[in-house]
Amino acid sequence: MDEYLEPFGLTSRQWLLLAMLDKQFAGAAPTISEATAVFGTSRQNVKQVALQLERRGWLRVEPDPLDRRMLRLVLTDQRAVFDDQAVQANQAAFMMSVFGRLTPGERRTLLDMITACIAGLSSSANQQPTSSRGGTS
């Protein structure tokens, strides 16, 4: 995957964050916390990847106008490169090289399994760890 992304100067983690922001928050600028809930990783990880993308011009990390403590992730016009027909054809060819040997039913099952795993990660990230201080109640 990194070979495919090399011309764009992106790692697979960076591309995944861009794709998630583009698909899950189309036209919106989610907070880092909102993106974390969907991305299924730590807030620190999302912020680190977002700052890398900001340095490369793919997005801007901006304070929320109403609550400056919150940071919003704003995609730049640079992401439109993935709308180019040649790039989309290349993406489709790459996806077929990865998933083409699976039957449509197997691809559906894989998608369902990955979706369930991501949902589990997202709900785990939103739960507060319980503190046990020893002994029983």
Do 108 and 67 lie in one domain? The reply is no
| Closest by CA position to 10, among listed 51, 76, 56, 78 | 56
What's the CATH number where 40 sits?
1.10.10.10
Tokens for 47?
């912020």
Q: How far apart are CA 82 and CA 78, in angstroms?
A: 9
pLDDT 10s digits, 107-129: 889 878 877 776 676 555 555 45
pLDDT higher than 90, residue 41: no
Do 99 and 58 lie in one domain? The reply is no
pLDDT higher than 50, residue 132: no
Domains contained in the chain, number: 2
More confident residue, 31 or 27: 31
Q: What is the mean pLDDT of the chain?
A: 83
pLDDT higher than 90, residue 48: yes
Among residues 36, 65, 83, the one where a domain terminates is 83
By the 10 Å C-beta count (0-12 exposed, 13-18 middle, 19+ buried), 91 is classed as middle
Q: How far apart are CA 18 and CA 24, in angstroms?
A: 10
Q: Within 6-42, where are the H helices?
A: 12-24, 32-39
Q: How far apart are CA 91 and CA 26, in angstroms?
A: 19
pLDDT higher than 90, residue 46: yes
Q: How far apart are CA 114 and CA 121, in angstroms?
A: 10
Do 89 and 41 lie in one domain? The reply is no
Query: How many CB atoms lie under 10 A from the CB of residue 5?
Result: 15
Do 31 and 52 lie in one domain? The reply is yes
Residue at 45 is within a domain: yes
pLDDT 10s digits, 55-93: 999 999 999 999 999 999 999 999 888 888 988 888 788
Q: Give the pLDDT confidence score for residue 61 in this predicted structure.
A: 96
Do 70 and 96 lie in one domain? The reply is no
Percent of the residues in the chain that have a pLDDT greater than 70, as a whole number: 85
Q: How far apart are CA 112 and CA 110, in angstroms?
A: 5
The domain containing residue 109 runs over which residues? Answer: 85-119
